[in-house]
Amino acid sequence: MKLKVTLACGALLMLLTACARQVKQEAATSEPPASSVIKPVRVSAENRDAAEPALATGGDGTAYIVWVEHQQNKEADVMLAHLDSDGQVLGAPVRVNPKPGKATAWRGDPPTVVVAPDKTVYVGWTARLASEARGNDLYLSASRDGGQTFEPPVKVNDDGKAVGHGMHSLAVGEDGRVYVAWLDERNAQKTMAMGQTGAMQKMEHMESNREVFMAFSTDGGRSFSKNQRIAQEACPCCKTALAAGANGHVYAGWRQVLPGEFRHIAVAASEDGGKTFQSPRIVSDDRWMIAACPVSGPALSVADNGALQVVWYTEGERSTPGLYHAESLDNGKTFSESRPLARGQGRGTPLLLAGGKSGASVVWESNEGGESRVVSVPLYGDEKTANAAPVASGGELPSAAVSGDQLFVGYIARTNERRSIWIVRAKAVA
């Protein structure tokens, strides 16, 4: 199955606009209590074009936020800042990529950040190749001094080809093992297709679906295992997801392309720390047929009782457009019937946040009426639903993390066509 590049990205905005539905009225009209959301703090520098935020909590009430500063000539830098428990930046932000301007990112593939049990801060990011060839490499950088300095980055992909390695995800197990998953095109075949006129002079590239690859590190990110392919025919612009549970259980998620251009969320499980994976399982038969890429992957989380939680966006003949939730109680072998979590249009990949005194919650970008804003809602395991609570007006493509009963949310704000990164702290919804 092939996708036209022109459809892969350009059709998304038209599609979502056309398919937009009204978000729950409570989410549309209610405003947060004055004391529930703390005044936003800008973390990116002024006069810089900053985007693609990602957040992780430090385990001590603090948080880390990474983002990408875009420059001319497609140059970019991955930046990291340490935030105190009040959301204020501690010291000056640090550049993660050692060589200035060599990073790369776009809204569907931001950098990733996690904090290990030993307090090591890991950042996953992609880098442009030294030559002019198309493609990138996937790297992991580690800081063992609270984000003040980073060791030389370690390349994760082992193919050595000038192809794409992106839409990556990052997780750390309770034993400190580091997991990375991504979409890979090392085996993709590029073809040419005739234009509608049939004239040879009008040729268009066709873009293949991707394969899902996985690697892990048992030495603190200093080296990685041989890359392992765990799935084929993955939607090429939908982000992967990872979740690490207890006793070596690891889960990888992505959007699978099925015959007929149906695009459904799939999950593969490992019970041996990522050495082997079971056959992928489709989470829900949503019957969403779309010959384009939604740029929206799944969110995964493992509850304290071992249940695997999955949240995703979908449309289709069996689903009203919106966010949906399902869970697996048998380590990813089977999944419950999906249930609606939030009706209406959402942009990007939702965020599923486990833990905290208020339990799990979901954060996403709502686009009701063409206006972007960040909202959150608690995730209940039964049929109980709750109203979405606004977190930030005008925010785009958020990232979030929970520390205790505090919700840290990073997002993009636009001023005169320039983007900047802001952080807001709120009470985790209950």
Query: pLDDT tens for residues 292-337?
Result: 889 999 999 999 899 999 999 999 777 788 899 999 999 999 999 9
Give the pLDDT of residue 13. Answer: 36
pLDDT score of 141: 98
Query: For position 241, what pLDDT does the model report?
Result: 98
Ranges of residues in the chain whose predicted pLDDT is under 50:
1-35, 191-206, 356-358
* pLDDT value of position 386: 59
Report the distance separating Cα 172 and Cα 179, nearest Å: 6
pLDDT at residue 389, rounded to an integer = 82
Model pLDDT, residue 32: 39
For residue 11, the model assigns a pLDDT of 39
Compute the half-sphere exposure of residue 210: CA atoms within 13 Å on the CB side of its CA: 25
Distances 189 to 163, 206, 311, 346 between C-alpha atoms, Å: 11, 9, 31, 32
pTM (predicted TM-score): 0.87
pLDDT digits (tens, 9 = 90+) for 148-172: 999 999 999 999 999 999 999 999 9
- Residue 135, helix vs strand vs coil: coil
